[in-house]
Amino acid sequence: MKPLEGLESRRAALKVLTEVRAGRPFEAALDRALGRLAAVDRRLAHELAAGVLRRQKALDAQLAPLVARGWNQVEPTLQDVLRLGAFQLTGLDRVPAHAAVDTSVSLAKETGGARAGGFVNAVLRGLGRTAPPPPGTSPSDAARLAERYSHPLWLVERWVARFGAEEAERLLRWNDTRPRLVLQPARESIEELERRWRAANIAVEPAPYGAGLVTDRRRPQELPGYSEGAFLVQDPAQALLTWYADLPPGTELYDASAAPGGKTIALGRHAARVVAGDVSRSRVRRLTENLRRAGSGHEHAVVADARHPPVRPLNAVLLDAPCLGTGSFARHPDARLRVAPDGLARLERAQAELLEQVAGVVAPGGLLIYSTCSLEPEENELQVDRFLRRHPEFRREPSETFPPALLSPNGDLMILPQRDQMDGAFAARLRRSA
């Protein structure tokens, strides 16, 4: 029997979702599931898996009324099969309805037999191509937005309180878009990269604030210059951290949480030496590969716990702290499924401990740069405020060369996705007294 056309991409998307539910990060799950697919199937599988993760609450709200025995009684893998079908029917105009239903039925039969296939067929044909129902009366703006954009209610409540409902919705809408690929210069200048890619008929344009080049291509490995380390993949927000750090040439830097290495490589271009540490051996292997491909030779990867810095006092230390990652939800659509209030509290404590330890290897007169990819004040400015109260020998020292539009009133780097059209980020420059 001839295999059903398009089934491989749907099968791969289901595998991605299954691995994400088991705790594997989205990007790692993609690498495992998509490697052998044709380019067109890779793109579709990526779009399907990411779309389900981004719209899960809304999809469940559409599917649940069609399941007589109750949505929570449906086996988890079968729930994801239905979500994949529903996303195609309601979110992808270019996918014919019969293709969405037929491939979903085939997936259901593979995972649960003929009875599961019949169940999926009945539910999806009941759903059809009808538009999602308009949101009902909600007790609050936050509840309405949390359901529509499939975000945790507790987090949306925070954002509505902080930004207001309209701006919070812009943030949620940004999180539900697939970000474009942004590339940063490494062993070639940004001008050389632009000339090379335009000569190869690859469309590129400047990223916001000139922080890299944006392309419509999806696989950096296929771009000219990748194997030679001419560029690296990095969101503008992370590239702008290098500008904000404003380190003088010849600096010796300890990057306390360096993997996968984008900031290390950017900072190493002008540093005398960068000791790039990470506590995870697997992450250090990836870091080492990236340094070998695109580094300047000034960077040195080590397996090291930032709570026990492996260096003598240096004139610059960067702590890119573990955080909730709420500024990078667009890039990591699975991350919204993992965040919880108790996780925020644990991370606050961990960040404070790490700050205490790395501060000890900042030489007198040296600079400590604290950064996150979070939007949450407890992980950002409030964390810095608490550190400065404990350590009066440090003070904020904002960069004098950085665009004021991206600075907070305290002079901290503050990038908001809904305002700045890139990942969210925070950083503070903290100068130790001589």
Closest CA to 271 of 288, 295, 302: 295
Q: What is the largest CA-CA distance in the chain?
A: 77
Distance of alpha carbon 314 from alpha carbon 161, whole angstroms: 41
Residue in the block written with tokens 């040439």: 249
Closest CA to 359 of 303, 299, 399, 319: 319
Return left, alpha or beta for 412; rule: phi > 0 is left, psi -120 to 50 is alpha, else beta.
beta
Residue 226 neighbours by CB distance under 10 Å: 17
Task: Tell me how long the chain is.
Answer: 434
The residue among 32, 86, 39, 28 whose CA lies nearest residue 62 is: 86
The three-class DSSP label of residue 253 is strand
- Dist CA 417 CA 163 (whole Å): 12
Q: 323 catalytic, yes or no?
A: no
From CA 27, how far away is CA 320, in angstroms rounded? 20
Distance CA 53, CA 61 (A): 14
Environment class of 177 (CB within 10 Å of its CB; exposed 0-12, middle 13-18, buried 19+): exposed
SS3 227: coil
The secondary structure of residue 397, as a DSSP letter, is -
Among 34, 318, 354, 373, which one carries the catalytic annotation? 373
Question: What radius of gyration do the chain's Cα atoms show?
Answer: 23
Catalytic residues: 373
